[in-house]
Structure 1
Amino acid sequence: MENQELNSDLKKVAALIVTYNPDVKLLKENIKATSVNVGDNYLIVDNGSKNLIEILNTVGKKHVLSLDTNKGIAAAQNAGFRRLQAQSYDWVLLLDQDSVIPEDLLQRMTAMSQFKQSDTGIIAAAFNSHSYVNQGVIEKKNVIASGGLIKVNAWCESGGMDDELFIDFVDFDFDARVLACGYKIYQNTEIVMQHEIGNTIYAPIRGHLLHLGAYHGYFSDHSPIRIYYFYKNFIIVHRRYPEYFNEPKGLFRLSVSRLRKIFLYQRPRGKKFRAAFRGIKDGMRYDPQKDIRFQKMMRQVNEES
C-alpha cells in the first residue's frame, strides 16, 4: 500500500531543468539522475544555447522547450512552470543544468510528512558545500532554486519568478513571496546533491588574508554580467523584503564589504569590480514602492494570503 501511495505521489511530480550553453557531458549525468527520480516526466527549458542541437540530440525534442534568446533564469523557469501546470503536475523539481541529484531524492522527499501538509510550498535538498549537511529537516526562510521541490499552487499564488531580476536572487525573491502567501519552506539536509555555483577556484591563502575563511579556500568565480546582477539584485531583494533579512550593516556598506571576494577571482578583475560597483549603484537607486510590476505581484500575494 505504501509503494502504491508513493508511486501515486511521484506521478504528480515533474522535473524542470534550465540550460544555457551547458556542458553536455555534465547535462547527461544530470538527466540520467533525474530520470531515475521522475522517469519521463522532465522538461528542459533552453535559454538560447549555442549548442541547442547537441541538447536536442541528447534528450529529444519532446523534452525541450526552446527560447529564442537568453531571457534569464526567471523567465525560463516561469515558461517551464506554465507548460507543466498545463500538463496537470502538482509539484515541480527545479534543477540547474550542472546539478546532479541522488537517485532516491524524490522518494525521500515525498515520504516526508511535510510533503503531505497543505501549507508546504517548497522542500529543498542540501548541496555538497553546505556546512549544515545531515542535520535533519529544518524550516527555512530562503533556499536556492536548484534541488527545490516546489508546489505548483505556491508558484501560481506567489506570482511566480520575477523575470526582471534575470538571474541571481531570483530564488530568494520567490521564497519571500511564497512565505508571504502563508506557505512554509523546508530543507532536508540529509538529501545532498552535487551543485556548483560558477567556476570553482581554490585560493586558501588569499581567502584567509581577506577574512573569508568560511569558504574553506574554495570560491565561485563569475563573469562580469553575473557579478552585476548579483550586487544589484542583492540590494533589490533586501529592500523588497526587509522583514526576511536581518542584516547587521547598511545594504551599501554590506555590498561594498563583499567586494573583497573579487580579489580572488580570475581576470579581468578590473572589469568585474566595475560591474559590481555598477550593480551597487543601480541597486541603491531601486525603490520597491515605485516598481509597478512588483507592486502588482504583491497585490496578488495579499489577495491569495
Structure 2
Amino acid sequence: MERSEKRPRVTGVVLAYHPEHDIVDNVRALARQTHHVVVVDNSPDDEVGRAVLAEFAQDDAVTVIEPGGNVGVAAGFNAGMRAAFAGGADFVWIFDQDSTVTDGMIDRLLAAHRDAGGTAGVIGPALRSQATGVVYRRESGDGMREVDVLISSGSLFSRALVDAIGLHDEPLFIDYVDHDICLRARRYGYRNIKVFDAVLDHRFGDSAATTLFGRRIFLSNYSPLRHYYAARNRTIVLKRFGAGRWFWEDLGFTTKAWIKVLLREENRRTKVAAFLRGVRDGVVYPTR
C-alpha cells in the first residue's frame, strides 16, 4: 500500500487459531494493502502454530500479540483492534486466518466509506468461495448496497464508528459476533455497506466436498461446540434486535446448512443436542 500522509492509516487484524503455513501468505498479502498488520495468536500453547507465526519475528510490517490463551473470536478481534487504534490507526480491517484479500480491496472499501459519508458504518466485501473460486450467489451484485449485517472477515471499521458503538460483545465468544456489532451500528443510525467490486476469498469451516441428490456440495463440518454457540448466539441476537431482514436471510442460510448436517455430516445426534442446548441457553440469556 502506498504510504501517504493524505491517506487514512489502515491496520489489518488477523485472528489466528492453530494456524497453518498458508496464514503467512495471507498476512503478507494483507500487509501490501495496509500500513501494518496485527496478528492475534489465540492458541499460544500450540507449538506448531507458534513456529508458523515466528516467521513474522523480523517483519516490521507485522506484529504478533498473545491475548492469553483462546479468548474467543470477539475478545481476540477486540485485542487486535485496541492495539491497532493505540498504534494510530484510522481504520481497522479484520480477518480470520482463512481469508485472502484480492488486489485493490482496501481502496474500494475506503471509497465506499467516503461515499457513505457521516453515516458510514461497517464496510465489507463480497465473498468468493476459496473452494470453487466462484462468488456466492447471495454475494453477487454491482456497486455497493446497504445491508443489515456483514461477516467479520474483511470488515472495515473506522475509529469514529468504534468510538460511538463500542467493540465486539466478548461474552458471545464466537458466532453471530458480527451480527451483533453490525446490528448495533444500525441501531445507532449507521449504514452497513457491502461493496461488490471488493471480493474476498473465504472458506467456511472445512469446506469438504461431497454429493447430495447428485449435486456437488461442500460441508462445513463444524464441531458440536460451534453449533452450540451458533444456536445460542442466534437466539440472543434475535432477542436483542428482533426478526428483521437479517433474520430471514440467516434462516435460509441456516436451513440449507442443517440439511447438509443431517444428511451428510458425522456426529449428527451430538450436533443436534448441542443446537438444542444452545437455543435453551440463548432463551434464558439476560437481555441487555
* Fold shared per TM-score above 0.5: yes
CA distance change for structure 1 residues 74 and 246 in 2, over 3 Å: closer, same or farther? closer
Q: Which of the two has greater helix per residue?
A: 1
* Runs (5+) with no aligned partner, structure 2: 130-135
How far is 1:110 from its partner? 2.3
Letter in 2 for 1:7: S
Q: TM-score, normalised by structure 2?
A: 0.85
Number of residue pairs matched?
A: 273
2:30 aligns with 34
Partner of 1:171: 178
Structure 1: give runs of 5+ residues left out of the alignment: 209-215, 289-294, 296-305
Residue 205 of structure 1, aligned match among 212, 236, 242: 212
Change (3 A) 1:85 1:115: farther
The 1:133–1:38 alpha-carbon spacing in structure 2 relative to 1, beyond 3 Å, is: same
CA deviations 1:115-150 (Å, max 9, x no partner) are: 572221221011114213242211111110111111
2:10 aligned partner, one-letter code: V
The alpha-carbon distance between structure 1 residues 234 and 206, as it changes in their structure 2 partners (threshold 3 A), is farther
CA separation of 1:207/1:167 partners in 2, compared to 1, >3 Å: closer, same or farther? farther
2: CA distance between counterparts of 1:224 and 1:176?
Answer: 26
The 8 Å contact of residues 100 and 193 in structure 1, kept in 2 or not, is answered as yes
1:268 aligns to what? 267
CA contact (8 A) 1:141 1:176 kept: yes
What is residue 277 of structure 2 aligned with on the other side? 278
> Do 1:259 and 1:276's aligned partners in 2 also have CA atoms closer than 8 Å?
no
Distance 1:188 1:255, change over 3 A: closer
TM-aligned CA distance change 1:164 to 1:207, over 3 Å: farther
TM-score by length of 1: 0.80
The 8 Å contact of residues 47 and 67 in structure 1, kept in 2 or not, is answered as: yes
Q: Distance in 1 between matches of 2:106 and 2:202?
A: 17
Percent identical pairs in the alignment equals 27
Superposition map of 1:1-305 within 5 A? 7-8=4-5, 10-24=7-21, 26-39=22-35, 41-49=36-44, 50=46, 51-60=48-57, 63-112=63-112, 114=114, 117-129=117-129, 130-131=136-137, 132-205=139-212, 217-242=217-242, 244-245=244-245, 259-288=258-287, 295=288
Contact 1:45/1:65 (8 A) holds in 2: yes
Task: Report runs of 4+ in structure 1 exceeding 4 Å deviation.
Answer: 245-248, 254-259
State the Cα distance separating 1:230 from its structure 2 match.
Answer: 0.7
**Residue identity matched to 1:218:** F
